[in-house]
Structure 1
Amino acid sequence: MESNYSQYIRNIELDRDSVPSFSEYPFNLPAVKNLDKLTFHPKVTFIIGENGSGKSTILESIAVAYGFNAEGGTKNFNFSSRATHSDLSSYIKVVKGTKRPQTGFFLRAESFYNFASNIDDLDADLPEEMRLIKSYGGRSLHEQSHGESFFAVFQNRFSGKGIYILDEPEAALSPSRQMSMLTRMHELVREDCQFIIATHSPIIMAYPHAWIYEIREGFDQVKYEDTEHYQAMSSFLNNKQKMLNILLE
C-alpha cells in the first residue's frame, strides 16, 4: 500500500548531508543512523522497538518538525518545563499531503504531568466559560488518576479530521483501557484521522491494517505476529509455568 497524497503526513526525510556526525547523539541511535525516508500509512502507523532504540526521539522530532510543542499538546501549547528534547527535528523534513488537518495533538507519556499542569496554570487566569479544561472533559487532569486523565484526552479532546502523534500511550492505561483506546481510535479513523504511534503494547499495535515499523538496525516493516512484542507476550501467556521456570530458576 502506497501513501496517499491526501493524507496529512506522507513521509519524513532525514537531511543526511547536514548531519554533523552519526557517532553522536541523537544521530547514533538505531532509529536515526540508517534513516533516509520513512513513509506512513494514511490511517495508522506504529513504531516499535527496544528501549534506547530511538523511537521516542524520532517521534518527538516528527511532532516538533510538524509544529507541535516538544512536551506535548496541540500546536497552541508552547510551555517548556525542561529543554531536554534533541535537535533532530532541525534535520527532519515532514512531507505533507494535500489535505490539512482541522486539529491535532502530540501526546507523550513522560511529559503529560507538565501538560496537565500547564492547562491548570492557563485556566487560573480565565473565566470559567473560557477555560481550556472544558475541552478535556471539564475536570482538572490532576484530579484524576493517570489513566483516567490520559483517557479523558482521547475521549474529549481528540476529534475528526485530525493528526495524532502518540508516544507510549499505554504507559498509564490498563489492558482494558488499551482495548477501549482501540475502539476510540477506530471511531476517529472513520472520521478521517491519522495516527502515528510509538508503543510497546501488543494490544494497541493489533489495530488491523496498520503499518508496523520495528527498529532494528533501521526501520523494518513487519507483520503483527512477527513482532518481538507479540511473540514474547504470546509465549509467556501460552506457556506461563514453563516460562516462569526458565526466568526464575
Structure 2
Amino acid sequence: MITTGGLREMSLQRDKITAPGQYPFSIPVLRNFTSLQFHPKVTYLVGENGMGKSTLIEAIAIACGFNAEGGTKNFNFSTVQAHSELHRYIRLIKGPVKPKDGFFLRGESFFNVATNIDEFKDAKLLESYGGKSLHKRSHGEAFWALFMHRFGGKGLYILDEPEAALSPARQMAFLTRMHELIRKDSQFIIATHSPIIMAYPDAVIYELSENGIRPSAYTDTEHYKISHQFINNPQRMLKILLEENG
C-alpha cells in the first residue's frame, strides 16, 4: 500500500510511553498496537463507540500539523483543551510528495471552525467555502459546502464521522465527490459509523474492537451486518428489540 504522497504508515513509539496504564494508552485498541499502514486512497477506521476511533484520528491529524479542533493547517484557534497527548507518541511515515491541500473535519467542533472563518472577515477565504457564512447554512449544507468548495484535490483529508450531518442521499453523493478528489491525487482517512460512507471499493477498512485493530472486508464489519439485517427485515428486528425490552 505505497503511495507517492500523503501518509504511508503510523507507528506507536512505545519506548517513550511512561504511563502505559493511563489514557489514552489504556484504550483497547492501543494495548497491543504497533503500527498501521494507510491505503493510498482511502483508509477507514470503524467500530463501536468508545473503541478509540476519534482518539486515533485526532492524533494522526495533530501529528500532521492540523489544528486539534479541525480546519486547515492555518487554523490555530482553541476553545477547549480536550485532545489527548497521543500525537506526541506516534511516528508518521510520509510519501515524498507533500500534499498541496488538506483539512481535518471533526463534526463535534465544526461550529467552532465556522465561527473562526467568520472572524477572519476575509472575502477570499469565505469564497473558498462557497461564498456564504457556514453559519447561514444548515448543518448538512455547511458540511456539503466544505466538501464541494474547500476540498480542491492533491490533498490529505482527515474526517471524523463526516456522515454526522448528511442524509443517506448526501452520503452517497459524498462517495462521488470523494472519488473525484481521489482522481485528483487525494488521500482520505475517515472514522465512520456509516455503511454508505465506508463502501468505497478501493480502500482498506480497519475495525477497532476490544481485541485491538484488524483489517476487515466491508461485508464483514459489524456496521454493515447490523444495518443489512435491519433494512432487510425491520419487522423481525423491531420485534426482537422491543420484546426484549418489555
**TM-score bin (small chain):** over 0.9
User: C-alpha distance in 2, partners of 1:79/1:52?
Assistant: 26
**Other structure's SS at 1:85 match:** coil
Give 1:80's match in structure 2, choosing from 63, 78, 81: 78
What corresponds to 1:120 in structure 2? 118
**Other structure's SS at 2:2 match:** coil
Q: How does 1:224-239 map to 2 (within 5 A)?
A: 224-239=218-233
Alignment TM-score, normalising by the size of structure 2:
0.96
Mark the runs of 5 or more structure 1 residues left unpaired by the alignment. Answer: none
* Residue 209 of structure 1, CA deviation: 1.9
Residue identity opposite 1:248 in structure 2: L
What corresponds to 2:217 in structure 1? 223
What corresponds to 1:52 in structure 2? 50
**Other structure's SS at 1:100 match:** coil
Residue identity opposite 2:140 in structure 1: G
Aligned pair count? 242
Alignment TM-score, normalising by the size of structure 1:
0.95
**Other structure's SS at 1:241 match:** helix
Identity %: 59
Query: Conserved in 2, the CA contact under 8 Å of 1:11 and 1:38?
Result: yes
- 1:55-110 CA distances to partner (integer Å, 9 max, x unpaired)? 00000000000100000001000000111101110001111011111110001101
**Other structure's SS at 2:214 match:** strand
Moved runs in structure 1, 4+ residues, more than 6 A? Answer: none
Would you say 1:168 and 2:167 are equivalent positions?
A: no
Residue identity opposite 1:199 in structure 2: T
User: C-alpha distance in 2, partners of 1:102/1:13?
Assistant: 24
What corresponds to 1:37 in structure 2? 35
What is the aligned-residue RMSD (CA, Å)? Answer: 0.9
* Residue 22 of structure 1, CA deviation: 2.4
* Residue 171 of structure 1, CA deviation: 0.5
**Other structure's SS at 1:196 match:** strand
Residue identity opposite 1:28 in structure 2: S
- 1:18-39 CA distances to partner (integer Å, 9 max, x unpaired)? 1122221111112322211100
* Residue 51 of structure 1, CA deviation: 0.6
Mark the runs of 5 or more structure 2 residues left unpaired by the alignment. Answer: none
What corresponds to 2:130 in structure 1? 137
What corresponds to 1:195 in structure 2? 188
Query: Conserved in 2, the CA contact under 8 Å of 1:31 and 1:58?
Result: no
